[in-house]
C-alpha cells in the first residue's frame, strides 16, 4: 500500500533566474551507481518507494543542515549552515517521483546560489538507514545530509540556476547581498564595512563561546550534590543529552533526582545549549530511566553506531545515532 505524502508541482520550484527560499529538486528518480569510501561498488535506488520513505521520515526539528562540499561530515569539520532544509516533498513526473526540499538560505548560502557559485546539490544517506534489495542494490529511506556542489553524486537533477536564464548584470543581487552582510555585521558588533571573512570569524567565535558555555552549564548541573553518586556512564549520557537537547536533559535530571527524593535544579538555569534535533520519543518520554533495559539498549546501540561512523571518517550527531539505533532495533 502506497503512503500518501506531500507533493508539489514544477511551478512550485524556485525560478532559475532568481532563486530564493523555497522548493528545490535535489535528487533524480532512477538507479545511480556509487562507490563507498571503502571502495565498495553498489547501486543506489531512488524509486517512488524511496522518495515516499524519505519524505515521510522528514527532517530534524531544527532543520536539515545544508553545507558546501560536505565539509560538515568530511575532512576538517565545518558545521556552519549555508541553508536549512525545512520540509521534504515528492515531485510527480512521467519518470517517477522526484525528491524536493524546501530550503531557507542563510546569509552565507544565499549569495552562493544567487551568484551561481554553486548550481547543484549532493545528497547524503546513511547505509544504516537503507533497505538492502540484494545484488548490491540499496534503497535509501532517510535523507541525513545535503550539500551545495558543482559535482553532484547523482546526475540529472534540475540545476539551481541556469546561466542562459540568469541576467547578465547581477549588480542588484550583489547590492542586496552587501546590505544583508551589513545587517549581520551590525548585529555582531562589527563595523558596517566588515568583510565576509570577518563576519564568518565573528560567527565562529560566537559559536565557540556558545559551546563552551553549554559545556560549563552541563558540568555544573552534573556536579550537583544530588547527582554526585551517578555512574560515569550515566553521567556521560546525560551530558550528551544536555548538549544536544537541553530540555530533555533537564527532564532526565529531574526524574533522577525525584526518584532519590531530592530537589530539582533551578528552573531559571541559563539556557546556552541550542535546541536539540529531535523531540522526545517513546523510548525517552515520560519514563526516562538509566536502568531501563530498553533505554540502555538504545543508548548502547547508538554509541556503537557513533563509533562505527567515526571510524569510517564520518561525523555522527547523537540525534542521528539514536535515529539509526531505533531503525536497527525496530523501535518507533
Domain presence at residue 187: no
Domain presence at residue 166: yes
Last residue of a domain, one of 140, 173, 206: 173
Q: Are residues 130 and 225 in the same domain?
A: no
Provide the domain limits for residue 241: 196-329
244: confidence class by pLDDT, cuts 50, 70, 90: low
Backbone angles phi, psi at 309, to 5 degrees: -65, -40
Mean pLDDT score of the chain: 76
Q: Which residues contact 117 (CB under 8 A, 6 or more apart)?
A: 111
Domain presence at residue 188: no
Domain presence at residue 218: yes
Q: Are residues 98 and 53 in the same domain?
A: yes
Q: Are residues 216 and 324 in the same domain?
A: yes
Domain presence at residue 93: yes
Q: What share of the chain has pLDDT > 90, as a percent?
A: 23
Q: Are residues 35 and 101 in the same domain?
A: yes
Q: Are residues 218 and 322 in the same domain?
A: yes
Pair 88, 58: CB distance under 8 Å: yes
Last residue of a domain, one of 173, 205, 226: 173
Domain presence at residue 191: no
Last residue of a domain, one of 142, 173, 204: 173
* 50-76 pLDDT per residue, tens: 999 999 989 988 899 998 887 655 555
pLDDT for 6 beyond 90? yes
Domain presence at residue 181: no
Q: Are residues 200 and 167 in the same domain?
A: no
Q: Are residues 238 and 150 in the same domain?
A: no
Q: Are residues 28 and 82 in the same domain?
A: yes
Q: What is the mean pLDDT of residues 171-191?
A: 72
**Which is more confident, 252 or 315?**
252
Q: What is the mean pLDDT of residues 106-135?
A: 88
Of 39-48, 81-90, 105-114, 212-221, minimum mean pLDDT range: 212-221
pLDDT for 211 beyond 60? yes
> In the block, which residue shows the cell 550534590?
225
* 191-205 pLDDT per residue, tens: 888 888 888 888 888
Q: What is the pLDDT of residue 142?
A: 92
* 266-295 pLDDT per residue, tens: 444 443 333 333 333 333 334 333 334 556
Q: Are residues 21 and 125 in the same domain?
A: yes
Nearest to 26 by CA among 160, 121, 150: 121
Cα–Cα distance list, 330 to 228, 294, 296, 298, 322 (Å): 35, 12, 15, 10, 12
Q: Are residues 200 and 120 in the same domain?
A: no
Q: Are residues 75 and 130 in the same domain?
A: yes
Q: Are residues 201 and 166 in the same domain?
A: no
**Which is more confident, 227 or 259?**
227
Number of independent structural domains in the chain: 2
Q: What is the pLDDT of residue 284?
A: 37
* 146-168 pLDDT per residue, tens: 999 888 776 666 777 654 433 33
Amino acid at each position: 500500500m502506497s503512503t500518501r505524502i506531500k507533493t508539489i508541482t514544477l511551478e512550485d520550484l524556485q525560478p532559475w533566474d532568481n532563486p530564493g527560499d523555497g522548493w528545490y529538486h535535489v535528487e533524480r528518480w532512477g538507479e545511480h551507481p556509487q562507490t563507498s569510501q571503502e571502495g565498495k561498488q553498489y547501486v543506489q535506488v531512488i524509486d517512488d518507494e524511496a522518495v515516499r520513505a524519505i519524505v515521510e521520515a522528514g527532517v530534524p526539528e531544527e532543520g536539515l543542515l545544508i553545507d558546501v562540499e560536505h565539509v560538515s561530515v568530511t575532512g576538517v569539520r565545518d558545521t556552519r549552515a549555508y541553508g536549512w532544509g525545512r520540509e521534504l516533498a515528492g515531485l510527480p513526473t512521467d519518470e517517477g517521483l522526484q525528491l524536493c526540499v524546501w530550503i531557507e538560505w542563510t546569509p552565507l548560502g544565499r549569495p552562493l546560489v544567487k551568484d551561481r557559485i554553486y548550481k547543484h546539490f549532493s545528497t547524503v544517506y546513511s547505509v544504516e538507514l537503507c533497505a538492502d534489495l540484494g545484488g548490491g542494490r540499496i534503497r535509501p529511506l532517510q535523507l541525513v545530509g545535503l550539500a551545495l556542489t558543482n559535482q553532484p553524486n547523482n546526475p540529472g537533477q534540475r540545476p539551481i540556476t541556469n546561466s542562459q536564464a540568469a541576467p547578465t548584470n547581477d549588480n542588484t543581487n550583489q547590492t542586496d547581498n552587501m546590505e544583508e552582510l551589513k545587517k549581520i555585521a551590525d548585529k555582531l558588533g562589527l563595523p558596517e564595512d566588515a568583510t565576509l571573512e570577518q563576519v564568518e570569524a565573528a560567527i565562529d567565535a560566537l559559536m565557540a563561546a556558545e559551546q563552551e558555555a553549554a559545556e560549563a552549564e552541563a558540568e555544573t548541573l552534573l556536579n550537583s550534590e544530588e547527582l554526585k553518586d551517578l555512574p560515569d556512564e550515566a553521567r556521560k549520557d546525560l551530558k550528551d543529552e544536555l548538549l544536544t537537547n537541553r530540555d530533555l536533559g533537564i527532564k532526565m535530571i529531574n526524574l533522577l533526582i525525584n526518584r532519590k527524593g531530592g530537589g530539582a535544579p533551578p528552573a531559571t538555569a541559563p539556557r546556552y545549549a541550542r535546541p536539540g534535533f529531535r523531540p522526545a520519543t517513546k523510548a525517552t518520554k515520560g519514563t526516562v530511566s538509566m536502568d531501563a533495559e530498553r533505554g540502555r539498549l538504545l543508548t548502547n546501540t547508538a554509541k556503537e553506531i557513533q563509533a562505527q561512523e567515526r571510524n569510517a571518517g564520518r561525523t555522527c550527531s547523537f540525534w542521528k545515532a539514536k535515529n539509526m539505533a531505533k531503525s536497527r532495533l525496530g523501535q518507533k
